[in-house]
C-alpha cells in the first residue's frame, strides 16, 4: 500500500503543479479576477466535450487492439455497470445531503456544500489521474468517460437545483442540448460503430489533433483557475473556515466511501449471477476513483451563472482542492487495497 500511496501522491503533486502559473500570473496582475469566468466557460463548453470525444474516439493502434479484443456485448455490460454504480452513488449522496442539510439555516450555503459533495473533478482531473494510475489502460479511461456522462446529467439537473434552490430552473431541454451531452452521444456512436469513426481513418489521422489538443488543456486550465482563485484569497479565507473542511470531508471521504459500497454490492450481485462478468475491475473502480477526486471546478462557474454564492463556492472549492492533494492518494490506495482483498 505504501508504494501505491507514493505513486498516487506523485500523480496529485504533478497535476497540482499547474496551480502555480495561475497563482503567479494573477499576483503580478497579468490576469484579471474575471478571467476565471472565461476559463470556466472554456472548460465547460469546449474542453469537456472534447475530452469525451478524445477519450472515446481517438486511440492509437495498441489501445484500440485492447478495446477491440472485447465484444460489443461485453463493453455494453461494462458500460451498464459503470452507469448503474454511478447513478446509485449519486442518488444515495443526494439523499444523504438532504438529510444532513435539512435543518441548515443558510439554504444557499447548504446548496453549495451539497454540490461540492456530489460533484467531483472527474473529467478535468479524473481522466489524467486514472491514465497515470492505471498505467494508461485505455479501458479505464473509457469507463471514467462513461461516469462523466452520468455526472453531466446530474450536474445540470440536481446540481442546478442545489445552486438555485428552485426546481423550476432545471431544464431537461438544456441538459439534452448541453455540448457535453451532445458530444457524449456522438462519441458513443463513433465508439460502437468504428466503421464511421473518422478520427481513426488513416487517411485523415491528422484531424485527431483537434480533440486531443483541446482535451489535453483540461487539467492545466482547471488548475490555473484554482491558482487564480488562491491568489485572490488570504490564508484566513482558505484555512480558517470550518464549514469548508466539513464540505471537503463530505467530498473526499463520504462520496468515495458511498460509491465504493455501491460498487461492492454490484460486484457481489453480478459475481453471484455470472462470475465471468466481473473480470474487469475498472468497470467497478472507475466510478470510485472518479468520485474520489477534488470538487468539480464547475461549482464556481455555475454559481456565477445562476447567481449563487460565488465567494463561498470559490472558498470551499479551493480549500477542498488543496486538501485533496493529500487525501486523494490515501483514498485511492485504500480503495485499491480493499478491492484487492476480494
Bridge partners (DSSP) listed for residue 120: 295
Question: Would you say residue 186 has pLDDT above 90?
Answer: yes
Percent of the chain with pLDDT over 90: 26
pLDDT score of 38: 84
Question: Would you say residue 194 has pLDDT above 70?
Answer: yes
> Average pLDDT of the chain?
85
Q: What is the mean pLDDT of residues 159-175?
A: 80
Q: What is the mean pLDDT of residues 2-28?
A: 82
> Tell me: the pLDDT tens digits for 51-96?
889 989 988 888 888 888 888 888 898 999 999 999 999 999 999 9
67-81, 91-105, 228-242, 273-287: least confidently modelled range: 273-287
Q: Is 16 exposed, middle or buried (0-12, 13-18, 19+ CB in 10 A)?
A: buried
Domain extents in the chain: 2-340
Helices (H), the chain: 2-16, 19-27, 35-42, 48-57, 61-68, 72-100, 107-118, 126-133, 138-154, 160-164, 172-176, 179-192, 209-216, 218-231, 235-239, 242-249, 255-273, 282-291, 298-305, 310-340
Q: How many other β-carbons are positioned within 10 Å of the β-carbon of residue 159?
A: 24
pLDDT score of 150: 93
CA distance 75 to 83: 12
> Most confidently modeled of 16-30, 231-245, 275-289, 313-327?
16-30
> Tell me: the pLDDT tens digits for 316-329?
888 888 888 888 88
Using pLDDT thresholds of 50, 70 and 90, give the confidence band for residue 112: very high
pLDDT score of 342: 60
More confident residue, 126 or 100: 100
Q: Which residue has the cell 484569497?
A: 233
The CATH classification of domain 2-340, taken from the options 2.170.260.10, 3.40.50.1580, 3.30.420.40, 1.20.1530.20:
1.20.1530.20
pLDDT score of 283: 84
Using pLDDT thresholds of 50, 70 and 90, give the confidence band for residue 139: confident
Amino acid at each position: 500500500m505504501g508504494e501505491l500511496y507514493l505513486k498516487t501522491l506523485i500523480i496529485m503533486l504533478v497535476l497540482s503543479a499547474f496551480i502555480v502559473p495561475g497563482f503567479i500570473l494573477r499576483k503580478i496582475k497579468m490576469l484579471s479576477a474575471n478571467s476565471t469566468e472565461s476559463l470556466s466557460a472554456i472548460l465547460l463548453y469546449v474542453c469537456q466535450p472534447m475530452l469525451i470525444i478524445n477519450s472515446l474516439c481517438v486511440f492509437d493502434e495498441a489501445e484500440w487492439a485492447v478495446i477491440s479484443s472485447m465484444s460489443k456485448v461485453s463493453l455494453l455490460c461494462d458500460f451498464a455497470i459503470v452507469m448503474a454504480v454511478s447513478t446509485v452513488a449519486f442518488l444515495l449522496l443526494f439523499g444523504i445531503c438532504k438529510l444532513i442539510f435539512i435543518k441548515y439555516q443558510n439554504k444557499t450555503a447548504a446548496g453549495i456544500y451539497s454540490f461540492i459533495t456530489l460533484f467531483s473533478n472527474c473529467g478535468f482531473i479524473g481522466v489524467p489521474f486514472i491514465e497515470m494510475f492505471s498505467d494508461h489502460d485505455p479501458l479505464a479511461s473509457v469507463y471514467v468517460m462513461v461516469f462523466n456522462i452520468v455526472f453531466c446529467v446530474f450536474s445540470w439537473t440536481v446540481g442546478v437545483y442545489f445552486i438555485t434552490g428552485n426546481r423550476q430552473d432545471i431544464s431537461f431541454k438544456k441538459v439534452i442540448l448541453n455540448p457535453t451531452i451532445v458530444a457524449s452521444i456522438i462519441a458513443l456512436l463513433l465508439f460502437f460503430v468504428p466503421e464511421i469513426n473518422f478520427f481513426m481513418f488513416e487517411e485523415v489521422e491528422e484531424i485527431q489533433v483537434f480533440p486531443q489538443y483541446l482535451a489535453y488543456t483540461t487539467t492545466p486550465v482547471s488548475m490555473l483557475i484554482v491558482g487564480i482563485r488562491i491568489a485572490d484569497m488570504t490564508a484566513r479565507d482558505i484555512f480558517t473556515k470550518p464549514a469548508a473542511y466539513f464540505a471537503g470531508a463530505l467530498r473526499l471521504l463520504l462520496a468515495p466511501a458511498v460509491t465504493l459500497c455501491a460498487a461492492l454490492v454490484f460486484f457481489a450481485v453480478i459475481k453471484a449471477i455470472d462470475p465471468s462478468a466481473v473480470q474487469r475491475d475498472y468497470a467497478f473502480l472507475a466510478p470510485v476513483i472518479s468520485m474520489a477526486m477534488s470538487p468539480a471546478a464547475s461549482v464556481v462557474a455555475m454559481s456565477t451563472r445562476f447567481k449563487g454564492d460565488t465567494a463561498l463556492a470559490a472558498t470551499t472549492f479551493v480549500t477542498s482542492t488543496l486538501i485533496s492533494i493529500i487525501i486523494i492518494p490515501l483514498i485511492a490506495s485504500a480503495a485499491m487495497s480493499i478491492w484487492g482483498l476480494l
